[in-house]
Chains A and B, each alone.
Chain A
Amino acid sequence: MARAVVTVPARATRGEIVEVKTLAQHPMETGFRRTQTGELIPRDIIRRFTCTYNGTEVYRVELHPAMSANPLIAFSTIAAETGTLAFQWVGDNGYSVTETASISVE
């Protein structure tokens, strides 16, 4: 199922700065909410997001409960060479999702 959606331009010219947009499917349960009977709902969030470009880390994010559900992370990167952008989201309760996108650079 669609655990994440990433949007990266399919092609770019070398050295161009390209926009990257990512959405991950996650409730980002804050750990501060209570059920109707008053029990605290345990925290369940994505803790870390990383983007690597042909193996080199280009962007890393540490998330806290104040990030919205189904978090959006959008940033930019330099189109250095043809290859693969790999995305990883890691969180509480063993949550781990990976996604990739290819980019062709001339």
Chain B
Amino acid sequence: MSLRTALLFAASLLCARAGAGEIPPSERRSGYDLMSRETRAMQDDDATNPGMLWVLDGETLWNRKAGAADRACSDCHGDARESMKAVAARYPAFDAALGRPVNLEQRINMCRSKRQKAPPLAFESRELLALAAYVARQSRGLPINITIDARTRPFLEAGREAFFRRQGQLNLACAQCHDDHWSGKLAGSPITQAHPTGYPLYRLEWQGLGSLERRLRGCLTGVRAESYPYGAPELVNLELYLMWRANGMRMETPAVRP
């Protein structure tokens, strides 16, 4: 970061509101609302939203037979526009066999290995992102809907604890940026309230599509904290907390972010 950007960033943070604590529902904002008009337009028009390239790949994969079972997702689930409607809006969801919540990518991979008898897809691989984007696209415009019960509560609390815990060499908590300084900017990017409304999403910095876990790992590295491997329970707990915290907000997949 140049000195100029550092100054810009410091100046913009000085305008940010002070205070601490969770954001009241009436003040919740999607990252969408804090982006430039141009980036919003890029997300809004399917003809120019590059995330649609992955959604279309996902549709192809949805209908393609795979694995020893030689079954396609569509062989069991039919038309995704019906069967996958609002599904992504309830993930991470509790898996009884594992006894813990799993995110959407993990859920898809469970069908890959158990139902298709195919090797699981690597996290952040083009195929897994495409399938997740296609499934989550069927929730676009629908409200995030995480229900917490006795089985999931401990995981939610662990996620909440991680969000408020200071960590890394910089000794910063997620909440310090995302609850207390969300209207500020860091190196030109709006900090945002960290609502995971649009994942997987197309990030201009990545020049490609990425998952929520990739985003979280980026923020962890940003505070020089230890990052967890993809699929680690620590990350899924954070995802669960973030999705629960965004309950009622509309899904935007595939969103676009700076």
Contacts and interface: CB of A to CB of B under 8 A. Distances in A.
Chains A and B touch (C-beta atoms under 8 A apart): yes
Interface of A: 1-2, 4-5, 7, 21, 23, 25, 27-28, 68-70, 72, 74
B53 interface: yes
15 contacts: A1-B130, A2-B52, A2-B53, A2-B54, A2-B57, A2-B59, A2-B60, A5-B47, A7-B46, A7-B47, A23-B48, A23-B52, A27-B208, A28-B207, A70-B50
A92 to B, nearest CB: 17
B57 A69 contact: no
Contact size range, B: 10 to 19
B56 A69 contact: no
B43 to A, nearest CB: 13
B53 A5 contact: yes
Contacts of B46: 7
A21 B208 CA distance: 19
Interface string B72-111: 0000000000000000000000000000000000000000
Contact of A5 (B56, B207, B208): B56
Interface in B227-243: none
Interface of B: 45-48, 50, 52-54, 56-57, 59-60, 130, 207-208
B48 A1 contact: no
Nearest to A6: B47
B60 A1 contact: yes
Contacts, number: 42
Contact of A74 (B48, B52, B59, B60): B48
A27 B207 contact: yes
Given A7-B47, A23-B50, A2 B56 contact: yes
B57 A5 contact: no
B207 A25 contact: no
Contacts of A2: 52-54, 56-57, 59-60
Contacts of B45: 21
Nearest to A7: B47
A100 to B, nearest CB: 15
Closest 6 CB pairs of A and B: A2-B56, A7-B47, A69-B207, A70-B50, A21-B47, A1-B57
Given A21-B47, A23-B48, A70 B207 contact: yes
Given A2-B53, A23-B50, A69-B50, 12 more contacts: A1-B130, A2-B52, A2-B57, A4-B53, A5-B56, A7-B47, A21-B48, A23-B52, A28-B207, A69-B207, A70-B50, A74-B47
Contacts of B50: 23, 69-70, 72
A23 B42 CA distance: 12
Contacts of B59: 2
Contacts of A28: 207
A70 B47 contact: no
Nearest to A70: B50
A69 B208 contact: yes
B60 A5 contact: no
A41 B107 CA distance: 35
Nearest to B127: A1
**Residue from B50, B52, B59, B207 whose CB has the most chain A CB atoms within 10 Å:** B50
Nearest to A19: B47
A61 to B, nearest CB: 16
